[in-house]
Amino acid sequence: MTAILEMRGVTKMYGRAAAIEDVNFSLIKGEVHAILGENGAGKSTLTKMMAGVVQPTSGTIQFDGKEIHLRTPAEAVRSGIAMVFQETSLVPSMTVAQNLFLGNEKFFNRIRGVNIAAQQFMQSLSFDVDPTLQVSALGAAKKQMVEIARAMLLEARVIVFDEPTATLTPEEKRHFFELVATLKDHGVSVIFISHALEEALQISDRITILRDGRRVVTGDTKDFDRDRIIQAMVGRELSQELYGTRKRHIRPAGERILSVENLRVGSVVKNNSFSVFKGQVTGVFGLVGSGRTETFKVVAGVIKRNYRNGGLVVLKGTPVRYRVPAPGVKGGIAYITEDRKVEGFFETMSIKANIFVGLLSKAGAGRFWLKTKEMDKLGETWVNSLQVKAVTMTAKVIELSGGNQQKVVIAKSLVQDPELIIFDEPTRGVDVGAIAEIHDIINRLADEGKAVVVISSYLPEVMQLSDRLLVTRQGKVVEEFSPLDATEEKLMYAAVH
Ligand SMILES: Nc1ncnc2c1ncn2[C@@H]1O[C@H](COP(=O)(O)OP(=O)(O)OP(=O)(O)O)[C@@H](O)[C@H]1O
Ligand SMILES: [Mg+2]
């Protein structure tokens, strides 16, 4: 059992706070090693140090027995360590083959040669990706395959995956797991970061758990179960089991706040019709690509409804057609995005400034006089109630961990006091403790009489939260269930067939 990578006494300070503190970590040749921990525990920071993205403040890193000092990700890749981020680093306007051989001019001059070489290489990894396609045309899973192929081509001996499965469909996930097995067969060591504990248990050989920047435990996966992991992550037993109990009481429908009639959007939403009522959580379940996100983005004005595309969106009895989100916000709609990186927030602004922007877009410019003090107080209230973990309130959102960024996105929308709140995959990338907090918020909003929509690909989540369940398939709502008699099988069947 020789270590390919060894970190000793590694610390990473940001200002006076330690994101990683005195951590020892070793990665064995050919193992799959899961790194788990709450949002902000330091998982990304630890692995970014291996990949040359950030530099340790102190401590040493050995690779293949020699001490290394990586200054850039390119340097890490040249040494044999690659990191596959959620947001890929591929060039979207180039083809798969060009991306693979980027920087390798020998191939790059001859298009045909590149394509053939790429084809052969992809085949040797059993990756089904057409090398002549533009990267921008690929789905998340295929993009990831290209990234991995590139890492393999450069003979990476360590590959870090930071939350690789969060945006994948079940089918793509299966593919990803096969891929990890292939990497292992090739003798590559894999680090797998995820909030999906079952997945970590399924694919890893060993598990390391971080808490508050420190390593709590490392051990063989066979010695762990879900409870032990959670216990180590949060340092206590979680009082309630997240998805343990079946929903027994459903809230009655209040006033109809939204009705969508025969909505059509491009080729993704086809004659979609349904209603949403106050005082309830309406769960929307469907596979990625079933038009759920597009439907609600049109409702909220996040995407424009083309005049060629028909249908009606009726909000509180009045037909509306928003082309930008601002009037939707004024009309009382909040759409809380699944894609926080792209549309959720202003990443170089502070937490409180982001929350404040949320307020402004509701109130309009008339409220610009809101004083710094008020802004501080507002920010603080929300940071406390959502338990956003940050070193200071002046920290920029980009400096927060992924899950904490998600909480800021939620705070920014809720500050607008909306009547209809649409959560699109609200707990993606969020740790178990924070999921419970977000679920509490969702329930509280419905109890207060708000209309809440929860779009989720995670069945236990929609079943646990919803008072009624809408299933979408191929561009429209095809069936409605009561959570009292729905089962995971019935919902899945409706979503797929
Ligand atoms: N560039 C930065 N500047 C300041 N603080 C930072 C920076 N990057 C990370 N941090 C802080 O370091 C801590 C660890 O963050 P990290 O991103 O490693 O957490 P994580 O375990 O990956 O969490 P998540 O599950 O939410 O992705 C957090 O408190 C975060 O706010
Ligand atoms: Mg992270």
**Average pLDDT score over residue span 435-453:** 92
DSSP symbol at 419: S
Q: Is the CB of 401 under 6 A from ligand 1?
A: yes
Strands (E), 212-289: 214-220, 256-265, 269-277, 281-286
Q: Is the CB of 221 under 6 A from ligand 1?
A: no
Confidence at residue 365, expressed as pLDDT on a 0 to 100 scale: 47
d(CA 188, CA 180): 9
3-234: CATH, from 3.40.50.1360, 3.40.50.300, 3.40.190.10, 3.30.230.10: 3.40.50.300
d(CA 380, CA 484): 39
Mean pLDDT of the chain: 84
Q: Is residue 405 within 8 Å of residue 397, measured between CB atoms? A: yes
- Model confidence band, residue 155 (pLDDT cutoffs 50, 70, 90): confident
Shortest-distance atom of ligand 1 to CA 213: 14
Q: Is the CB of 418 under 6 A from ligand 1?
A: no
**Average pLDDT score over residue span 351-370:** 63
**Between 239 and 275, whose confidence is greater?**
275
Q: Is the CB of 41 under 6 A from ligand 1?
A: yes
Contacts of 210 (CB under 8 A, 6+ apart): 20, 23, 35, 36, 37, 41, 42, 43, 46, 216
Residue with tokens 């971080």: 210
Question: Separation of 402 CA from ligand 1 center, angstroms?
Answer: 7
Residue 109 pLDDT > 70, yes or no? no
For residue 372, the one-letter residue type is T
- Model confidence band, residue 144 (pLDDT cutoffs 50, 70, 90): confident
- The CATH code of the domain at 256-496 is 3.40.50.300
Question: Separation of 7 CA from ligand 2 center, angstroms?
Answer: 19
Residue 341 pLDDT > 60, yes or no? no
Q: Which protein residue's CA is at the shortest distance from atom 6 of ligand 1?
A: 399
The whole-model pTM stands at: 0.72
**Average pLDDT score over residue span 194-201:** 89
Question: What does DSSP say about strands 189-193 and 32-36: parallel, antiparallel, or unpaired?
Answer: parallel
Contacts of 183 (CB under 8 A, 6+ apart): 148, 152, 159, 190
**Average pLDDT score over residue span 63-68:** 95
256-496 matches 3-234 in CATH topology: yes
| Residue 403 backbone phi and psi in degrees, to 5 | -65, -35
Q: Is residue 297 within 8 Å of residue 263, measured between CB atoms? A: no
Confidence at residue 362, expressed as pLDDT on a 0 to 100 scale: 64
Question: Separation of 87 CA from ligand 2 center, angstroms?
Answer: 12
Q: Is the CB of 172 under 6 A from ligand 1?
A: no
Q: Which ligand is nearest to the CA of 19?
A: 1
Q: Which protein residue's CA is at the shortest distance from atom 25 of ligand 1?
A: 39
Nearest to 141 by CA among 168, 159, 123, 161: 168
Confidence at residue 221, expressed as pLDDT on a 0 to 100 scale: 97
Confidence at residue 425, expressed as pLDDT on a 0 to 100 scale: 86
Locate the domains of the chain by residue range: 3-234, 256-496
d(CA 340, CA 462): 20
